[in-house]
């Protein structure tokens, strides 16, 4: 058993996977180096311009294929990476791979924008500016094409360096999106003060927009304030034509969700880009 460790036996203690704590311990043990072992990949979910009816960007979403446990979702392993102190390495891998993959996609109009999620502890660690600059340099991606998706809690966090770093990134030409707006403590008043270019309406908010008059009114206010501030609004997690219709009626400019396209590999994305929105998304056409 584990007690025998230290006697020189080659057996490494492997906790059983009976409990959530044991699963976390196992994931934490296995995560470092997963990127070097080829276990991580990046999927891309198209972001569609509702006005132009075409894909104008993609969001990079990390996947970890664990050799024994199968697919582990980012909501589970990103917090583990943060606590294990490997979030910087993980983010550098994700940024580099996402940027390189996007550069292989066909150009069908303006160059596709790339959204990459950035975790709070990467911002806190203060390597973000250096890491992003290095990735832009090594891949050749134009800074204007990169959108760092950051939550409000991270953008508002204490410590003046966060604001300084975000400002430095924006001076480089990189864009910043406020992710998951409508969850947590999001407030309309904050919007005027945040250093952002894009606002992403959370799925939880989008879910109610076609049925709940209050959600619809809030959506209209957000879109109108965002417009006055020069921000693009992207609705996340759009699943039904009714939701899409309500978002269009509220003046929302962009949408993302299973109705339009699931997160996919670059190869599949090429087909989507070649086919165009009209044929692929009857829901988008119907809601016009
Ligand atoms: P997020 O940035 O809000 O990403 C959107 C999530 O919604 C993704 O989940 C996506 O697959 C899912 N989604 C897309 N369309 C729909 C829809 O129509 N309905 C529903 N119900 N869901 C939809 P995913 O890929 O599991 O990622 C979850 C979260 O993990 C992301 O939330 C993001 O916060 C985080 N994440 C993903 N990749 C990275 C990364 O590279 N770095 C960091 N730090 N976090 C990441
Ligand atoms: Mg995101
Ligand atoms: Mg989001
Ligand atoms: Mg979300």
Residues with CB under 6 A from ligand 1: 45, 61-62, 73-75, 78, 94, 117-119, 149, 179-180, 203, 236-239, 257-258, 263
Q: Which pLDDT tens digit goes with each residue over 261-270?
A: 999 999 999 8
Which residues are within 5 Å of ligand 4 (an ion), measured at CB? Answer: 180, 202
Helix (H) or strand (E) holding 180: strand 175-181
How far is the centre of ligand 4, averaged over its atoms, from the C-alpha of 11 (Å)? 41
CA distance 74 to 80: 9
What pLDDT was estimated at residue 273?
Answer: 85
Residue 288 has pLDDT above 70, yes or no: no
Give the three-class secondary structure for 264.
strand
Q: Which pLDDT tens digit goes with each residue over 85-133?
A: 999 999 999 999 999 999 999 877 789 999 999 999 998 888 999 999 9
Q: Which pLDDT tens digit goes with each residue over 177-224?
A: 999 998 877 778 888 889 999 999 999 989 999 999 999 998 999 999
Helix segments in the chain, DSSP class H: 20-30, 74-84, 87-102, 120-124, 128-139, 152-155, 160-171, 188-191, 203-206, 213-229, 241-249, 266-275, 277-280, 282-286
What pLDDT was estimated at residue 278?
Answer: 44
CA distance 33 to 49: 37
Largest CA distance in the chain: 71
Secondary structure (H, E, C), 16-74: CCCCHHHHHHHHHHHCCCCCCCCCEEEEEEEEEECCCCEEEEEEEEEEEEECCCEEECH
């Amino acid at each position: 058993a584990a007690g025998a460790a230290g006697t020189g036996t080659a057996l490494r203690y492997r906790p059983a996977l009976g409990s959530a704590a044991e699963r976390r311990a196992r994931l934490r043990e296995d995560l470092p180096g997963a990127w070097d072992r080829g276990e991580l990949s990046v999927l891309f979910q198209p972001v569609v311009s509702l006005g132009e009816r075409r894909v104008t960007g993609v969001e990079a979403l990390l996947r970890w294929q664990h050799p024994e446990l199968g697919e582990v979702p980012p909501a589970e392993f990103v917090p583990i990476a943060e606590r294990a102190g490997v979030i910087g390495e993980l983010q550098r891998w994700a940024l580099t791979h996402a940027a390189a993959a996007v550069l292989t996609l066909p150009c069908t109009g303006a160059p596709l924008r790339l959204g990459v999620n950035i975790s709070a502890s990467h911002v806190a660690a203060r390597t973000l500016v250096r890491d992003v600059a290095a990735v832009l340099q090594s891949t050749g991606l134009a800074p204007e094409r990169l959108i760092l998706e950051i939550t409000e809690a991270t953008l508002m966090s204490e410590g003046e360096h966060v604001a300084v770093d975000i400002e430095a990134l924006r001076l480089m030409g990189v864009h910043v999106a406020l992710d998951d707006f409508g969850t947590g403590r999001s407030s309309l008043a904050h919007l005027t003060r945040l250093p952002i270019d894009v606002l992403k309406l959370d799925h939880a908010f989008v879910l109610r927009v076609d049925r709940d008059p209050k959600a619809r009114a809030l959506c209209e206010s957000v879109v109108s304030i965002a417009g006055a501030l020069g921000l693009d609004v992207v609705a996340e997690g759009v699943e039904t034509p009714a939701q899409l219709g309500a978002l269009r009626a509220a003046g929302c400019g962009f949408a993302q969700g299973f109705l339009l396209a699931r997160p996919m590999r670059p190869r599949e994305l090429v087909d989507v880009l070649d086919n165009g929105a009209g044929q692929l998304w009857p829901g988008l056409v119907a809601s016009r």
